[in-house]
Chain A
Amino acid sequence: MTQKGHLAFLLPLASCAGAQTPLAPAGDQAAGQYSLLLLMLWVCGILYMLVLGFLAMGLWRLRRGAPAGNEPTLETPSDAVLGKTLWIWAAIIVVGLLLLAGASFLLERRLAAAEAREALLVRVSGHQWWWRIAYRDPRNGSWIETANELHLPVGTTARIELGSADVIHSFWVPNVAGKMDVIPGRANAIDVTPRRIGWFRGQCAEFCGLQHAKMAFDVKVETPAQFAGWLALQARPAPAPEDAAALRGMEIVTRGACAMCHSVRGTSARGRPGPDLTHVASRRMIAAGTLAMNRGNLQGWIAQPQALKPGTLMLPVTLEPRDANAVAQYLGQLK
C-alpha cells in the first residue's frame, strides 16, 4: 500500500495537522509509524464494521420475525450455524492479529536499524521544565551548549542521548519520531532521521510536575550547510554589547543574581541551574516554548517569570525598571 493511497483516507485529519503531529511525518521513524497507524486503522475499521453489521442484523432479525412472547426458548436450532461462524470469526481475528503483530515487529526492526547510520551526536537533558541541549562539535569533540531549540541537518541520522537532571521526562518530536523517556539513572537514546526541512515542535510527554504543560521546544530541520553555519555560530562566545544600555545589562547579568543560574560564554556568568543564554536571542521562543522571543517578552519574563509560567524554577529578581530594560537590551543582542 502506498503512502499516497492512504493519505486520501486520512486527509481530513492530516490537513489540519500542525507542527506537532504524527500524522504529518517529516522523518523516517515517524513515516514508519504513520504507515503502521494506517494499516491499523484499516484492519480495525474493517473489524469494527463486521461487529456493527452483525449486531445490526441480529437486532433487525428480531424486528421482522420474532413473536412478542415472553417465554424463554431452551432449544436453539440456529446454534449450529453460529458455532461454525464463531470459528470463522476466530480465524479472522487471528489473521488480523498476525498481520498487525507482524507489521509492528518489522517496524521495530526498522527503528533499530537506524543505529548503523548515526552521524551526529546530540545530548538532550530534561530539567523541570526546560531542555538543555548540547552538540558534539565534529571538528574538535568539544560540547556546544544551548537550550530549548534543537537543530537537525536534514537526511542525517542523529543519535540523541537523553539524560535527566531531576525527574522523568519524555522526549517527543512527533513529526520526526516517537517518544523516548528521559529517566534519571538510565542512559536512554533515540535515533532520528529528519527528511523534511521546516520548523517542528516537540513537547515533554511524561508528567513531570507542576509545569509539565509548558515544557516544549522547537525543532528546526535545515540543510547540512545551514546547520553547520548555525552550529559554528553557537560555538562562538557571546557577542560584545553594542551600546551603553546593553553594556549595563551585561554588568547586571554577570554580577547579579542571574549569573548564579545562567551561563553566558565569554563573560563571567557561569551558572548551571538554568538554560545557557550565550545565544538566547537566536532562538525562536523563550522559557521552553512559552513565549515568542522578542524584547517585550524578554523584559516581561525577567520581571515576572512566575506570572508567565507559574511555578517555574526561575526566581524573580527585583530590578529597577531601567535595569530591567538594560538587561533585556543586552539579552536581545545575544544572537
Chain B
Amino acid sequence: MSSPESPRIIGSLADLPDSARGAAHLVWWGNLGFMLIEGTGFVLAVGCYLFLSSASAAWPPAGDPLPSLWWSSIFTLALIASEIPNLWVKRRSGEHDAAAVRLGVLAMTAIGLILLFLRACEIAALQPSWHQDAYASVMWMLVILHSSHIVTDWGDTLVQALWLHTHQIGDDQFADVEDNCNYWTFVVVAWLPLYAVIYWLPRFA
C-alpha cells in the first residue's frame, strides 16, 4: 500500500481540559520515574551495607562504637511528623486553595530548614569517621545519600515557595506542588529502612 490518503476527521479534542492532576498528569509520571531511579539507588546502597556486614566478623568491627541514637531518632521523629503538614499541603493543592498552598509551601520550607539542622547534628554525632573502615564508609554513604535528597527537595520547595508568592497559580502549578509533596513523602519513606539499618541493625546483629 502506498502512502495513505488524508485521514478522515472523526472528532475534535478542543473540548478536553488543558490540565489534569494526580496520576492523570504527565509530570506525575516523570516524578515517578525519578523516584524509581533513586529508590533503586537506596535499595542497592542498603544492599552494599548488608553485603559488607555479612562479610565482616563483627559488626560494627571491634573498636568502633555503636551508632548514636540520640540525634538520629529526634531527626527521624521530626521527619515523620513533617508528613502531617506535607499531606495537608497536598490536599489543599488538590483543591486549588491558593492561599493555603502559599502558606503551606512556605511552612514546609521552614520545616525543611529545621530538619536540615537536625540532620547536621546527626552527622556531627556519626562515629567513627568514614575513613576508619568499611563499616564507617558505608554508614556515611547511606546518611550522605539521604541527606542529598533532603537538600535537593528543600531547594526545590524554597524555589517553589518564592514562585508561588510572586505569581498567579495555575492548574499546572497546583499539580507541581502535589508532585513536590509526593517527592517529600518519598524522601520520608526512604529514610525509615535506612534508619533501621544504620542504627538498629548493628544492635541486633
Contacts and interface: CB of A to CB of B under 8 A. Distances in A.
Contacts of B84: none
Contacts of A70: 1
Interface in B45-89: none
Interface residues of A, number: 3
Interface in A41-73: 70-72
A198 to B, nearest CB: 41
A71 B2 CA distance: 9
A74 to B, nearest CB: 11
B200 to A, nearest CB: 28
Interface string B1-27: 100000000000000000000000000
**B interface, size bucket:** under 10
A71 B1 CA distance: 5
A70 B1 CA distance: 7
By DSSP majority rule, is chain B's interface helix, strand, loop, or mixed?
loop
A188 to B, nearest CB: 15
Contacts of B1: 70-72
Contacts of A72: 1
A72 B1 CA distance: 7
A164 B201 CA distance: 33
Nearest to B55: A185
B3 to A, nearest CB: 12
Contacts of A71: 1
A70 B3 CA distance: 12
Interface in B75-127: none
Nearest to A186: B55
Nearest to A185: B55
A313 B1 CA distance: 70
A72 to B, nearest CB: 6
A298 B135 CA distance: 48
Nearest to A71: B1
A109 B181 CA distance: 55
A105 to B, nearest CB: 26
Interface in A91-146: none
Nearest to A72: B1
A14 B1 CA distance: 56
Nearest to B2: A70
B66 to A, nearest CB: 25
A72 B4 CA distance: 14
B55 to A, nearest CB: 9
B52 to A, nearest CB: 12
B139 to A, nearest CB: 20
Interface string A66-94: 00001110000000000000000000000
B4 to A, nearest CB: 13
A70 to B, nearest CB: 8
Interface in A160-206: none
A64 B169 CA distance: 69
Interface in A196-236: none
B161 to A, nearest CB: 50
B189 to A, nearest CB: 36
A240 B1 CA distance: 94
B134 to A, nearest CB: 11
A184 to B, nearest CB: 13
A273 to B, nearest CB: 27
Closest 3 CB pairs of A and B: A72-B1, A71-B1, A70-B1
3 contacts: A70-B1, A71-B1, A72-B1
